[in-house]
Each structure stands twice: as C-alpha cells, then as structure tokens.
Chain A
Amino acid sequence: MSPFPGHPGNEHAMHDDKHNHQRIRLEAVSKAWSGQTAVERISFEVAPGEFVILLGPSGCGKSTTLRMIAGLEQASAGRIHIGERDVTDLPPGDRGISMVFQSYALFPHLSVADNIVFGLRSRKVPRAERQERLTRVARLVDLEAYLARKPAQLSGGQRQRVALARAIISEHPICLMDEPLSNLDARLRGEMRREIKALQRRLGMTVIYVTHDQVEAMSMGDRVILMEAGCIVQDGTPGELYNRPATAFAASFIGSPAMNLVALSAAADGAVIDGEPHCSIASHEAKGHLLGVRPEDIAILPIEAPGVPGEVIDAEYLGADSIVRLKVGSQELRARIDGVPEVGAGSPCRLQWPPSAAHFFSTGDGQRLALQGYDLAAGPGRLAQKQSMHRNEARTSPTQAGNDSPGVNR
C-alpha cells in the first residue's frame, strides 16, 4: 500500500502504447512466510524502457518483491501483470524476463561462451543463431577475448559482464537485477554503474534494479521506489526523493551524510530547535515535530551574522569538502561545507539555510508536513528583538525538557 495519493499503481487507464507487452504492473502484492510478512500490499507500475530502482535497507522486502516478479517466489496475495498477461501463476521461464544475480550465478563447469548461451540452448535456439547472437553480445560487453575461459579464471568485473551478457542475449525486454554490483570493489562499481546504464539505454531494456546503495539508486534510476519494512515509502524520480522526501525515513536514507533530523519545540515566536529558544525557524504548527535540513544546505557564518546560534563540535576534512558537526541547543547537526572549515572546534557560529531547504516531518508517523521554514537570513534587528523578548521562555519547552540546558545558549 503506497502512502502516495498520486501513485500510478491503480491507474488502469495508462496502457496505450505499442510496447504494452513490457509494462510491469504489481497490484497489492504481498508475501508472507508462516505469519511473517515480508512484503505488504505493494503496488507499482514500470513503463517500458524505464530503469526503476527498488531501494531500501536490508530486510525491507525489495529482493522478495523482485523475486516475485521473476516468479522465483510465489506471491501470497495480489496480482502481477506483464503487459496484458497476468503472470502471477506462470512459471519463471514463461514470463519473458532475464535476471542478474548478486552472486552472478554462473555455471562453474561451463566456459564463458557456454554460460552465455545456456538459456538459448534451453530454448532450442538453432546453433547458427546462437553463435551469431553470442558474437554480438560478447562484443557488446567486451568479453570476446574470454569466451573460452571458465568463470573461475575471470575477475569480478568480468564475471559480472558474463552475467549481464547472459541476461542480454535472451533478448527479453525485461531485466531484473538483484544487487548486481555489491560484490565488486568501489572503483569497479562506479565503472559498471555507467556501463549498465549505457547498455540499458542503448538496448531500450526495462530494468528493475534492487539495491541498498543510494548512490546506485540516485545515479542509475529513472525512478526510485524506496521501501521500508515491506511497504513503499516513496516512489519518484531521484530528484524528488532528494528534494522532497516523503517521510523522515526517506529523508534519512537519501544523501550522504544523511539529512539532519532535529526535534522542534515551542517558543513564543514559533517553533525552535529543541534547546535553542532564541531563533524560531518555523511557524507554531511545526512544534513537537521534526525539522530536516540537508548538511549541504547549511551555511556556517560568523557569530555576528543572523541565523541559528550554534557551536562547532568538530570537523572532518574530506578533501573537496568537510563535514562539520555542530551543536544547536540539545540537538546535533552536520553541515557539509566546501574546502577547509574556517571555524575551529568549540567556536560559536550562526547557521543559515534557505527556507526551501527546511523539511518538516511528523514525529508520529514520520510523514512530510506541508510547512514552510522562516527565512533565517532576515535582518539582525528582528533576531535581536526576538532574543530579548523570549529569553526566559526556554525552560517552558514542552518536549525533552530534561535535555533543555539553558547554559549552552548564548
């Protein structure tokens, strides 16, 4: 069940085009093992030629969803359609899909060539055509020189290519990939990311790609479906996931370092960061909820500037940028700034972020709230006024009163 009102899962009016046989549609699909629910009533649709990512932490049901589409796992409830066909009860071989496994699933006793044409032999493709397709695909994935080798004689990246070739040669319009890059080292992973994406574009494949790596999701996906505990949390483009996370979970899952999520408490002038009563950052409706700010949206300014007062805890220099840990009231934030931080540990500072960079989430179910943040760059006069007006109201903060130490406020 999608929390999204505008979710395409139930819109039947969408099929029109000639590629309709490639459209994948899941309707309220569930999977349970002896009472344990792994996937709960999820619905989504994948258009032909789309690269869709199933993203989520381990155990969120993304692999199970993929395996149900493949037919390797029987859905406990719901229907799966590929094009016009209801494939829910069809065996995997009749669904017209290929799959790349995390372990590559290469046959260790067969040569690379035999591995690639394995499926063609099962489908009784004539020898000449087999050979012709093999030559073409081997060139496509750059394996021509390795066709006679056994998988054990290949590097990880080459094995990955064999698995890809096996999926491509079947010429099925749909390819499912289950964490195909997680066994590769970081450098190779980046290379293969681009390669897979380029192949998909070139061949016009429909790809459903399971990963727990947000970098893969953001860089490869036309659309990302974020899952948590067997349900879809958000379904949108990488940009939407980054810019408008639907829940606090989505906010914390995308981005590196993750989005700061801080508790808000009430002050006379609006909601303030818990333990920092002087600078209200949003209207009263936001109090008691969570504020989300991406580290890269935070600007660290000298103490004279307007903004939220904070204190630098420490800084981590990463080369192109630095991650600065900051203490604001009782909360801790991380900011990502270019180059070397100019502020030392323990020094007070002011923080600013654009109003559009402030996200608000309900503390109860984590859902996004339609609230706007205040403009923190507004003149110091307003800030000074606020500070003098509400100096004594810090102790009345309704939440986390125990953490509320006025001593840190300046």
Chain B
Amino acid sequence: MVIHNADRRMQIYGALLLLPAAVLLGTFAYLPTVATLINSFFLPGFRGAPPEFVGLENYAMLVEDRTFWRVARNNLIYALGTIPTSIALALGMALFVNARLPGRGLVRMAYFTPTILPMIAAANIWMFFYAPQIGLFNKLLGALGMSGINWLGDPGVALTSVIAMTVWKEAGFFMIFYLAALQSIPPELEEASVLEGTSRWSFFWRVTFPLLMPTTLFVLINALINAVRVVDHLFILTKGGPNNATNLLLYYVYENAFSFFDRTYAATITVVILLVLAVVATLKFTVLDRRTHYQ
C-alpha cells in the first residue's frame, strides 16, 4: 500500500514536471490547430452575423480554386528548388570549412552570416541586387554588355529569383548542423580507411554520408517546414506577384485572412497544408529512419 502511494506520488510529480510544456504546447499549437479545423467548416459571418456551418463546402471551393492550385504548384517548385540545393550546398560548405584551411573561422562566420540576418533585412538587401535599373545583377550584366533582366517582375524568372535568395539564406544555417555532425566523426575513421587505400570520394559515400544521415533527416524536415512557411520575404520582394507567379501557400493564407478577410477559407488552406506536411514528414521518417544510423 505504501509502495503504491509512493508510486502514485512519483507519477503526479512527473506529470507536474511536464505540465508547463504541455500547457504551452496545448495553448499555442494544438488548440489553434483544432480551432482552425473547426473554422474551416464555416463561412465567415459578415456584419456581425454568426458564422454559418457549411460542412466541406470550403474544401469543395478550394478544389475549384485555380489560384490555389497555381500557388500549390509554385510552392512545390519552390520546395524542390530550395531543399536539395540548400542541403547540398550546406554539406559542401561544411566539408570545406571542416578541412584544415587557413582562416577557416572567418569562412565559417561568413557562411553563417546570412542566417543571422533578419528575413526582412535580407530581403531588402536582395531587393537592391534584383532592382531592374540600379540593381547589382543588372549592373554586372550591363558591364558585360548584356541586357538586364527584370528579376522580380518577369513572371518566368521571379520564382527562381525568390528561390535563389532562400538558398543563400538557408544553406549557412544548415551548414552549422552538418559542421557539428562532421566534427563528431572521429578522425581515426578516415585514417583507418586511408590506410586501406580508400579514396576520399569513396570514404565520403561509405562512411561520412551515412554517419551524417541523422543530421540530413533533421535538416530535411526543417527545410520542408521552412519551404511552406515563407511569408516575410515575399512580403518585401514581390507580394506574391506578378500575377501570382511567386505566390506561395502561407502567403496565400495570409492574403485570404488579412487582405480578403475570408478567415474560414484561410483556415481551410491551413488545414490542407498541415495535412500535406504531416504526410510528407511521416513518409520521410519512416523511409529514411530505417536507413539512418543513430550513434
């Protein structure tokens, strides 16, 4: 009986320790998620009228919404354009600055600088790079005798321009994770394989890359989340234009909620985004986790 009581006390103690985190998560993550889901089944009530329950009508509307599909396709291109490139670049940079090279502290810092810049500031810098007349890129092209490109104004180029900036900003951030992981790999592993005549290329694919898999998985999930989380630099650079060429999902949600004041439609898109993200993340974890070695 005494033991039973002590056991119970421990359980309460443990639950109390979890409580602050649980409250925060519940209030700011799960409650809004549920509220969003409920909202997506209503039409907004205008002029003080109560919201009207419409079931799945919002979802039906979404399927019909050509702008939504355009935005979703944009976002897919954006994700495919940014995730592999920034991860490959991050890994390359990490391998580079992990080697013995003079002034590597400086190089590491230089690579990391874009990450510590606030998104708005970074976007403003890139505005100057991309500006049609006075921009850096067009000045450089002009110096080479080529005509300038309207980097953000041409619907065919604008999304690529946004992707380039994102890669620039994210690669340094992911590099830090790779660098930390690389430094936890004991140098004897490379020595042992060098003694057997293993080439650097072969060592990378047979040892380094597999040992970096936990990091790659982590970075992959983060990159995916970041890819659907873009609002701020679209706000500065293009506002989703021209003609929705650079409009991405979350920005579309923002537009619906705060420009068109259609909160419930915004909630519907949010639910779809959440579902897609959950499915992709689960897939990634189940497929990649099996091949990942955790130390």
How many contacting A-B pairs (Cβ < 8 A)?
68
Min CB gap B85→A, angstroms: 26
CA distance A92 to B197 in the complex (A): 7
Contact call B211/A109, Cβ cutoff below 8 A: yes
Q: Is residue A97 contacting chain B, with contact meaning CB distance below 8 A?
A: yes
Contacts of A118 in B (CB 8 A): 192-193, 196, 198, 206
CA distance A71 to B197 in the complex (A): 12
Contacts of B192 in A (CB 8 A): 99, 101, 105, 118, 166
Give the size category of A's interface with B: 20 to 34
Contacts of A92 in B (CB 8 A): 191, 194-195, 197
Contact call B186/A70, Cβ cutoff below 8 A: no
Contact call B197/A108, Cβ cutoff below 8 A: no
Min CB gap A4→B, angstroms: 31
Q: Is residue B207 contacting chain A, with contact meaning CB distance below 8 A?
A: yes
Contact call B195/A99, Cβ cutoff below 8 A: yes
Min CB gap B194→A, angstroms: 5
User: Which of A72, A103, A108, A119 meets B196, CB within 8 Å?
Assistant: A119
Interface residues as binary, B212-228 with A (CB distance below 8 Å gives 1, 0 otherwise):
01000000000000000
Q: Is residue B64 contacting chain A, with contact meaning CB distance below 8 A?
A: no
Contacts of B65 in A (CB 8 A): none
A107-B207, A108-B211, A122-B202 known; A91-B194 Cβ under 8 A: yes
Contacts of B23 in A (CB 8 A): none
Q: Is residue A94 contacting chain B, with contact meaning CB distance below 8 A?
A: yes
Contact call B188/A119, Cβ cutoff below 8 A: no
CA distance A92 to B211 in the complex (A): 23
* Contact residues, A134-170 vs B (CB, 8 A): 150, 152, 166, 170
CA distance A105 to B196 in the complex (A): 13
Contacts of A72 in B (CB 8 A): 191, 194-195
User: Which of A94, A101, A123 meets B188, CB within 8 Å?
Assistant: A101
CA distance A97 to B191 in the complex (A): 12
Most buried by A among B191, B192, B197: B192
Q: Is residue A98 contacting chain B, with contact meaning CB distance below 8 A?
A: yes
* Contact residues, A68-98 vs B (CB, 8 A): 70-72, 91-94, 97-98
Contact call B207/A97, Cβ cutoff below 8 A: no
Contact call A101/B191, Cβ cutoff below 8 A: yes
A108-B293, A109-B210, A109-B293 known; A98-B195 Cβ under 8 A: yes
In the complex, residue of chain B having the shortest beta-carbon distance to the beta carbon of A119: B196
Q: Is residue B286 contacting chain A, with contact meaning CB distance below 8 A?
A: no
Min CB gap B289→A, angstroms: 14
Min CB gap B102→A, angstroms: 14
Contact call A94/B197, Cβ cutoff below 8 A: yes
Q: Is residue B5 contacting chain A, with contact meaning CB distance below 8 A?
A: no
Contacts of A94 in B (CB 8 A): 197
* Contact residues, B49-106 vs A (CB, 8 A): none
A99-B192, A107-B189, A108-B293 known; A122-B211 Cβ under 8 A: no
Q: Is residue B295 contacting chain A, with contact meaning CB distance below 8 A?
A: yes
In the complex, residue of chain B having the shortest beta-carbon distance to the beta carbon of A121: B206
Contact call B211/A119, Cβ cutoff below 8 A: no
In the complex, residue of chain B having the shortest beta-carbon distance to the beta carbon of A115: B192
Contacts of A121 in B (CB 8 A): 206
In the complex, residue of chain B having the shortest beta-carbon distance to the beta carbon of A122: B198
CA distance A93 to B199 in the complex (A): 9
Min CB gap B64→A, angstroms: 49
CA distance A94 to B293 in the complex (A): 31
In the complex, residue of chain B having the shortest beta-carbon distance to the beta carbon of A72: B191
Contacts of B189 in A (CB 8 A): 105, 107
In the complex, residue of chain A having the shortest beta-carbon distance to the beta carbon of B210: A109
User: Which of B196, B206, B210, B211 meets A170, CB within 8 Å?
Assistant: B196
Contact call B295/A123, Cβ cutoff below 8 A: no
In the complex, residue of chain B having the shortest beta-carbon distance to the beta carbon of A103: B188
Contact call A123/B211, Cβ cutoff below 8 A: no
A108-B295, A123-B196 known; A103-B186 Cβ under 8 A: yes
* Contact residues, A95-130 vs B (CB, 8 A): 97-99, 101, 103, 105, 107-109, 118-119, 121-123
Most buried by B among A71, A93, A97, A109: A109
Contacts of A166 in B (CB 8 A): 192
Contact call A123/B197, Cβ cutoff below 8 A: yes
User: Which of B198, B206, B207, B295 meets A93, CB within 8 Å?
Assistant: B198
* Contact residues, A185-219 vs B (CB, 8 A): none
Min CB gap A202→B, angstroms: 22
CA distance A152 to B198 in the complex (A): 23
In the complex, residue of chain A having the shortest beta-carbon distance to the beta carbon of B207: A107
CA distance A92 to B199 in the complex (A): 11
CA distance A88 to B154 in the complex (A): 61
Contacts of B213 in A (CB 8 A): 109
Contact call B188/A105, Cβ cutoff below 8 A: yes
Contacts of A99 in B (CB 8 A): 191-192, 195
Most buried by A among B188, B196, B199, B213: B196
Given contacts A92-B191, A122-B202, list 12 more A-B pairs with CB under 8 A. Answer: A70-B191, A72-B191, A92-B195, A105-B189, A105-B191, A118-B192, A118-B193, A118-B198, A119-B195, A119-B198, A122-B193, A122-B197
13 CB contacts below 8 A, A to B, read A70-B191, A70-B195, A92-B194, A93-B197, A98-B195, A98-B196, A99-B191, A101-B188, A105-B186, A118-B193, A119-B196, A122-B199, A150-B293
